[in-house]
Amino acid sequence: MKMTNRRNRFIYRLWSPIYDVTVNHFFMPGRRRTLEILALQPGERVLLVGVGTGADLPLLPDGVEATGIDISREMLAKACQKLPLPGRRVNLLQGDAQQLLVGESDFDAVIFNLILSVIPDGGACLRENLRALKSGGRAVVFDKFLPDDGTLTIGLRLLNLGSTLFGTDITRRFGDLAAGAYVRVISDEPSLMGGAYRVILIKKNTL
C-alpha cells in the first residue's frame, strides 16, 4: 500500500496517545546509541527530523539548541508536554519533512531517527534535510533497512503490504535513499532485531 502524508497523519494520530508507553520502549536503546555516536557539544544546533512525541529530546545533552519537525500535530503535542528541558533550547515545527523547513547550513548535526522508513519519500527527506547541515556537519540515522545487496522477494513485498498499514516500509535500502546525497558514511553498525535496525553515522562532504 502506498504511503502518503494523509495516511501518515491518520496513523500517527492513532499512535500518539500510546506511542511512549508501548513501542517506544523497544526503540530506546537505538535512540540512546544515536546520541552517543553523534556526540553533541554545548553550543551546537541539532535538527531532529520526524521528532514525533519527542522521545529523543530528554536524551540531548545540556547546552544544545534543538529544532524538531513532524507532520503530525498530535505527536508534536506530546513532544510539547516534555518541555521545557533545563539547559536545552527546543523549538518544534509542524510540516512535511520531505521539504527543507529550516535554513540551509544552519545546523551542526541532524538526527533521522525512525523517519526514513515511514515518510513517503525517504530519499527526498534525507537529501532535503542534509541541506540544513553546515559543510562538514554530521548526521545520524537509526532505522530498519534491507541490506544494500539484499533481495526484495515476493514474500517480503507481501509482508510490506501489512507493515505499511501500521505506517512503516520494511523494503527500503539506505544506499538507495542516500544516492545523490553529498555525504560519506563514517560508521554503520547493527542495532535492534539482529541488525535489521541500524545506526548509521554520516558526514556532509566539505565543498
All structural domains of the chain: 5-204 (3.40.50.150)
Q: What is the pLDDT of residues 58-79, one digit of tens each?
A: 999 999 999 999 999 999 999 9
Q: What is the pTM of this model?
A: 0.93
Share of the chain above pLDDT 90, in %: 81
Length of the chain: 207
Confidence (pLDDT) at 31: 98
Distance in angstroms (rounded) separating the CA atoms of residues 202 and 159 = 30
* Averaged pLDDT of the chain: 92
Distance in angstroms (rounded) separating the CA atoms of residues 108 and 113 = 16
Distance in angstroms (rounded) separating the CA atoms of residues 108 and 171 = 30
Q: Nearest 5 degrees, angle CA 52-CA 122-CA 194?
A: 80
Confidence (pLDDT) at 154: 73
If pLDDT is split at 50, 70 and 90, which confidence band does 207 have?
low
If pLDDT is split at 50, 70 and 90, which confidence band does 160 have?
low
C-alpha of 43 from chain center? 22
